[in-house]
Amino acid sequence: MDRALRVVCLRGRTSDRTPGAPAGAQALALTLGGHVVGEPEEPRVGDWRDDLPASEPVLAAAEAELQNAFAAGELPVLTASDCTICIATLPAVVARHPEAHVVWLDAHGDFNTPGTTVSGFLGGMCLAAACGRWDAGRRGTVDPERVHMLGVRDLEADEEAEVTAAGISAEPPEGVPVYVHLDADVLSGDVMAAQFPAPGGWDEKRLKGQLAELAATCEIVGVEVTAIEDPAVAPMLAAAIEPLLRG
């Protein structure tokens, strides 16, 4: 790896419902030579109204780590239990890189709002918050037309309508600055069991190929990896994202 990296695992309450993903996030960060910020908390099933204020310490830490990395000329690589951190990270990215696009690799769109969510799961509403589709208490400054969903295969009907109305697309243009969000449940259940299973999904080869293509065609300005339900896949994920971490 030729670039100076800041690899950080963010521990603490977001909307963790199982113990696997926090452990997986820590395993990946340590595999990449990073460190852990925050303390573990017990997972539980919670409603977004409770989980949002409980998430604030993790959101603040995620934003701070990004800002510190950018200020030091480092590439930020964040790991976390679920996608909720993007409420803070994505606006921080576009504040630093106004032309940045977001590549969203995930089985799910996480584009629900309080008016569309069926489950009340905060992690299923976070991208919409980052794009200003609902008020999560932080500025939602990401232009959804600069968001590109890859591998998404499980959208609720009202959520799909929100995605279409927002103008979210697939492949990013070549040469643009890109922040990569990777939820490990983009993978097939044969590769890793997911907290929210969705039929289909990518195998290891497809994931590596997609990330290598992004690294070859776009300017990578940061990476975050979430929802690693099985810590045993951390070495594979570390190898898969390696092209994104090169200069």
Return the pLDDT at 99.
97
- Evaluate if residue 6 carries a pLDDT over 90: yes
Confidence of residue 3 (pLDDT cuts 50, 70, 90): confident
What is residue 192's DSSP assignment?
S
Average pLDDT, the chain: 96
DSSP secondary structure, 108-169, as one string: B-----TTT-SS--GGGTHHHHHTTSS--SS-----GGGEEEES--B--HHHHHHHHHHT-B
Per the DSSP assignment, residues forming a β-bridge with 226 are 80, 183
- Residue 82 has a pLDDT of 95
The predicted-structure confidence for 124-167, as pLDDT tens digits, reads as follows 999 999 999 999 999 999 999 999 999 999 999 999 999 999 99
Provide the pLDDT for residue 212.
98
Assess whether pLDDT exceeds 90 at residue 101.
Answer: yes
Cα separation, 124 vs 105, in Å, equals: 14
Using only C-alpha atoms, the chain has a radius of gyration, in whole angstroms, of 16
243, with CB counted inside 10 A (0-12, 13-18, 19+), is middle
Q: Structural domains in the chain?
A: 5-245 (3.40.800.10)
Helix 204-217, helix 234-241: angle, nearest 10: 30
pTM recorded for the entire structure: 0.97
pLDDT at 71: 97
Res. 2: pLDDT tops 90: no
Residue-wise pLDDT tens digits, 65-82: 999 999 999 999 999 999
What does the pLDDT read at residue 247? 65
Please compute the mean of the pLDDT values over residues 112-125 and round it to a whole number: 96
